[in-house]
Chains A and B, each alone.
Chain A
Amino acid sequence: GAGVSQSPSNKVTEKGKDVELRCDPISGHTALYWYRQSLGQGLEFLIYFQGNSAPDKSGLPSDRFSAERTGGSVSTLTIQRTQQEDSAVYLCASNPGPSNYGYTFGSGTRLTVV
């Protein structure tokens, strides 16, 4: 597609429920990233996929968070047993790959845990 697409744009969930956030990167981009942005804060790195390599999961805050990328394209970020501190905007970005240093971000999913 023309840009990075994320769905849903907004998600309200009850504490303790699981949620899935979807990211559809720009076609042909081999790198895909998930970041989290709390209100008025910077972007917190979560996970990075590059081609067929094992993902860099070093930013995932707990084992309740996981992500997968199927077929080198669409990615799903799953948060299990959501807590109120998980409330944030979850941003996905993609990049053509090595030697290209600019990310293209999606518009994000605003997650609210009540």
Chain B
Amino acid sequence: GQSLEQPSEVTAVEGAIVQINCTYQTSGFYGLSWYQQHDGGAPTFLSYNALDGLEETGRFSSFLSRSDSYGYLLLQELQMKDSASYFCAVRVGNFNKFYFGSGTKLNVKP
């Protein structure tokens, strides 16, 4: 089976930097994705990492270490609109199927 761990909640101040960690245990790991979900909304795709290292897309960056079974999402220059839940998801096997963590609720305060 698959096991993913994320902090349940994180609070940060507008303009700050926050890191949301994800550790996973799974067999047949192929990659790690991140999604953002605002309250009452649909999850939206942020990033996918298959290889070790940091990938940057604007204010958001995602990191993966396959040897440590660990990844994180880094959000810079936090804005109020970044308040949402963030889910990591692992791709298992050579299929396009992902298993999701329980999510981290990010609260951005002024």
Residues of A at the B interface (CB closer than 8 Å) are: 31, 33, 35, 41-45, 48, 50, 56, 91, 95, 97-98, 100-108
Is residue B101 within 8 Å, beta carbon to beta carbon, of the partner chain?
Answer: yes
**Which interface class (under 10, 10 to 19, 20 to 34, 35 or more) fits B?**
20 to 34
Report how far A33 CA is from B42 CA in the complex, Å.
14
The 6 closest A-B pairs by CB, nearest first: A102-B45, A43-B100, A42-B102, A105-B42, A101-B48, A42-B100
Secondary structure call for the B interface: strand
- Knowing A42-B101, A48-B97, A98-B96 are in contact, say whether A105-B87 is a contact too (CB < 8 A): no
Report how far A44 CA is from B50 CA in the complex, Å.
22
- Knowing A101-B48, A107-B42 are in contact, say whether A41-B97 is a contact too (CB < 8 A): no
